[in-house]
Amino acid sequence: MGAERELERQIAVMREASVDCYGEAELRERLAVCIAEGKGLRVKLGMDPSAPDLHLGHTVVLGKLRQFQDLGHTAILLVGDFTARIGDPSGRRKTRPALTPEEVRRNASTYVEQAARVIDTSRAEVRFNSEWMERMTPDDIVRLCSRYTVARLLERDDFAKRYAAGEPISVHEFLYPFVQAYDSVALRADVELGGTDQTFNLLMGREIQRDYGQPPQAVVTVPLLVGTDGREKMSKSLGNAIGISEAPEEIYGRVMSISDALMLAWYDLLSAGEWADLRGERERLGRGAGDPLRFKQELARRIVLRFHGAEAARGAEEHFQRVVRSREAPSDLPERRIEAGASGERGLLELLVELGLVASNGEARRLVAQRAVAIDDGVVQDPALRLGRGAYRIRVGKRRFARVEIA
């Protein structure tokens, strides 16, 4: 009975906050054997270093990997340094630019360190798929690609939509799911984790394993975290992501800016089996009761705590209360000295760009129109404003400040 209870407990943990589990019957059989023999499953999570930073969306599936790890299974963190050079076509309406090996190496150098904030990398198997892909011969590649048909590839939703719309599909994009599938063969994976947008690739891994004489992996998918815009999945390229290596104050402030409805979805996906003490308040908020502001503050604090520690979380909370809610400038804000030039004045828009408070004159003009720019606590309404010699404290939005002397 003890082994049966343990089997059901582990299956329940695997299902928690998951969308689908493909091959669950096979997984049950394999897991029962592992429990009886005191062994663990080999659980694979592949991540392409297509950008230098991991964001909160990545941590949803990393949290699921940590759950398997805590159950005693072998966590395999696969850094897709080879697949990143192809570019994952999942969910794309156009060909993703391929990265150079140098760009991939630069991005990959930070991945393992950042992943260590969620999983225990000292107990994980960290691999790079260039280990086996760079050793494959042309014959090996042809053999791999012969396992699937073009018709089957075009059943994939993103390929099908692009093909129907007459949008180009590069031949190298077809290689991506083959390589991801072969990774499971090379690693002899029992389970593969991924977001719901990866379902086609993950299931292809099951088929390719069968073709290579291996038992097919189970596939566990997790939901995609919606980004700060409340619409699209979190993505650096869409500008709606919060990087886990960002400054604690920035993480806290950006979490506080999301909608109340999004806040609840984030709690559900980011809690990773933790934060059970907040579950009752989350249920009250779901019924339209409770205090959403306090809950959001606690969510922001715990996200910073997870990635930066207790001291940083306290500092970020105090910074938000002082700078954002009370609209006080940070006490340690350095003063910039900028030359006025022959006219003795500087235009506001160009000054905001030079101070790094905005990216362009166009953004500065838009923020002035939104009454989001203040000088010495007075809201600016004229985008053509010029500032003469003197010292000024400038605020843009709720979290961007500068002290400047025009000399």
Query: Positive or negative, the Cα torsion across 128, 132, 134, 138?
Result: negative
- Name the one residue in this structure whose structure tokens are 């939509």: 161
Judgement on whether residues 167 and 113 belong to the same structural domain of the protein? yes
Q: Identify the pLDDT of residue 327.
A: 58
The CA distance from 51 to 106, in Å, is 9
Q: Is residue 230 part of a domain?
A: no
Please, which pLDDT band fits residue 98 given cuts at 50, 70 and 90? low
pLDDT tens digits, residue range 290-317? 899 999 999 999 999 999 999 999 999 9
Report whether pLDDT(94) > 60: no
Q: Is the pLDDT of residue 377 over 70?
A: no
Average pLDDT, the chain: 87
Paired tokens of 194? 């991924």
Say if CB 57 and CB 225 are below 8 A apart. Answer: yes
Residue where one domain finishes, among candidates 325, 348, 368: 325
Number of domains into which the chain is organized:
3
Express each pLDDT in 206-248 by its tens digit.
999 999 999 999 999 999 999 999 989 998 777 889 999 988 9
**Do 74 and 153 belong to one domain?**
yes
Crossing angle between the packed helical segments 292-308 and 260-270, to the nearest 10 degrees: 40
Let me know if residue 95 belongs to a domain: yes
Are 50 and 128 found together in one domain? yes
Any domain includes 238 = no
In angstroms, rounded to a whole number, what is the distance separating the alpha carbons of residues 78 and 104? 14
Picking from 222, 240, 258, the residue at the C-terminal end of a domain is: 222
Position 30 in a domain: yes
Helix/strand/coil percent split, the chain, to 5: 50, 15, 35
For 383-407, what is each residue's pLDDT tens digit? 888 888 888 888 887 767 788 888 8
- How far apart are alpha carbons 134 and 137 in whole angstroms? 8
pTM: 0.76
The answer to whether residue 143 scores a pLDDT higher than 80 is: yes
**What is the span of the domain harbouring residue 397?**
335-406
> In this predicted structure, which of 11-15, 149-153, 239-243, 285-289 has the lowest mean pLDDT?
149-153
pLDDT at 264 over 90: yes
- 213 and 284 part of one domain: no
Residue with tokens 């000054």: 351
CA distance 341 to 288: 57
Q: What is the pLDDT of residue 17?
A: 85
| Same domain? 55 vs 191 | yes
Residue 387 β-bridge partners: 346
- 6: Cβ–Cβ under 8 A, 6 or more apart, which residues? 35
In whole angstroms, give the CA distance from residue 200 to residue 185: 16
214 and 282, same domain (yes or no): no
Q: Are residues 154 and 49 in the same domain?
A: yes
- What region, left, alpha or beta, does residue 33 occupy, with left being phi > 0 and alpha being psi -120 to 50 degrees? alpha
- Rounded to whole angstroms, the Cα distance separating 307 from 309 reads 6
Please check whether residue 229 lies inside any domain of the structure: no
- Judgement on whether residues 203 and 292 belong to the same structural domain of the protein: no
pLDDT number for residue 43: 98
Residue in 156, 234, 217 with CA at minimum distance from that of residue 182:
217
More confident position, 12 or 98: 12
107 domain residue, yes or no: yes
Domain identity same for 190 and 299: no
Question: Residue 245: which residues within 8 A CB-CB, separation 6 or more?
Answer: 53, 54, 110, 114, 307
**Contact 320/253 with Cβ under 8 angstroms?**
yes
Specify whether the CB–CB gap between 186 and 132 falls below 8 A. Answer: yes
Residue 239, domain member (yes or no): no
133 and 258 together in one domain: no
Distances (CA, A) of 393 to 99, 292, 336, 405: 42, 32, 10, 9
CATH number at residue 392: 3.10.290.10
At residue 343, the pLDDT reads 78
CA distance 153 to 204: 10
Report how far residue 228's alpha carbon sits from residue 250's, in angstroms, rounded to the nearest whole number: 13
Read off the pLDDT band of 166 (50, 70, 90). confident
Q: What is the mean pLDDT of residues 272-291?
A: 88
33 and 164: one domain?
Answer: yes
| 273 and 354 inside one domain | no
- Could you tell me the pLDDT band of residue 177, with boundaries at 50, 70 and 90? confident
Residue from 210, 136, 146 nearest 174 by CA: 146
Task: Place 116 in a pLDDT band, splitting at 50, 70 and 90.
Answer: very high
Query: Among residues 302, 325, 348, which one ends one of the domains?
Result: 325
**Whether the predicted pLDDT of 91 surpasses 70:** no
**CATH classification at residue 144:** 3.40.50.620
Please check whether residue 248 is in contact with residue 308, taking contact to mean a CB–CB distance below 8 angstroms. yes
Q: What is the pLDDT of residue 332?
A: 59
**Cα 383 to the center of its chain, rounded Å:** 36
Q: Could you tell me which residues come within 8 angstroms of residue 295 by beta carbon, excluding any fewer than 6 positions away?
A: 263, 267, 278, 281, 282, 285
Q: What is the mean pLDDT of residues 38-54?
A: 90
Supply 297's token pair: 């503050």
150 within a domain of the structure (yes/no): yes
